[in-house]
Structure 1
Amino acid sequence: MTYAIIEASGKQLWVEPGSFYDLNKIEADPGDSVFFERVLLINDLNEIHIGKPCIADAKIQATVLRHLRGKKVIVYKMRPKKGTRIKKGHRQELTRLVIKSINIGNKVIN
């Protein structure tokens, strides 16, 4: 099992080649390649590489599939006995990515 732990969009994600992930919106067009260089850990068939805090020569290559919006989150505030009610909704802008490869040095892991 090959996987990597990366830092992207203010979160740490466990990513595997060929898997799909939704991140906060990235300014890239669908079909573009995106590289993540903040790689914290890579596990390649039980050979583990750990960064301090990041692995220097590691990159994750991903392809942007599309931009979408997340589920609606409802925020409702009510002040009892005051007659004040506020209902707000929010939908986060997301980007769907597919991980193409994990690169460490000259070695490419698909």
Structure 2
Amino acid sequence: MDKYAIIDIGGKQLRVEPGRFYDARHFASLRKAPRSNTKISITRVLLLRHGSSISIGYPWLNNAIVRGRILHDCFRNKLLIQKIYSKKKKRRIFGYRENMIRFVVDSIYVDGKNLNAC
């Protein structure tokens, strides 16, 4: 696609396109547990591409917003950590799952104009 944005969310950078869904670790803007179909706006847009023009923010673009909605909570695969003590014949295995939020990008706005309509 020729319309996409690179956003900073959950400590990672994601390349997002309208109409697709993505998984993120957490949203700093959401204080309580998110519900499905909650609308979100992401203002930390690092790069924006529309056709052949590319806009790069320093550090973020002031006039760009990515809007979407939360689909549901999800879990990533369990991360196992093994701790082996040599010469003692002892080992510990423990792990955890990261809480993830699946969201879909509905539209990308720049200067108040929707890029999907262009």
TM-score range for the pair, normalised by the shorter chain length: over 0.9
- Structure 1: runs of 5+ lacking an equivalent: none
- What is residue 30 of structure 1 aligned with on the other side? 36
Q: Considering only aligned residues, what root-mean-square deviation do their CA atoms show, in Å? A: 1.1
Question: Displacement, 1:52?
Answer: 1.1
Question: Displacement, 1:83?
Answer: 2.5
- What is residue 109 of structure 2 aligned with on the other side? 103
Q: 88-97 or 20-29: which moved more?
A: 20-29
Q: Deviations over 1:27-69 (max 9, x none)?
A: 4211011111010110011121111111101100011000011
TM-score (norm 2): 0.88
C-alpha separation between the residues in 2 aligned to 1:47 and 1:63?
27
Runs of 4+ off more than 4 Å: none
- What is residue 60 of structure 1 aligned with on the other side? 66
Letter in 2 for 1:24: R
SS of corresponding position for 1:81: coil
TM-score (norm 1): 0.94
Q: 86-95 or 20-29: which moved more?
A: 20-29
- What is residue 17 of structure 2 aligned with on the other side? 16
Matched, 1:90 2:90: no
CA contact (8 A) 1:4 1:39 kept: yes
- What is residue 76 of structure 1 aligned with on the other side? 82
- What is residue 50 of structure 1 aligned with on the other side? 56
Letter in 1 for 2:19: G
Q: Deviations over 1:60-84 (max 9, x none)?
A: 0011000011111111111121122
SS of corresponding position for 2:19: coil
What is the aligned length? 110
Q: Percent identity?
A: 35
- Structure 2: runs of 5+ lacking an equivalent: none
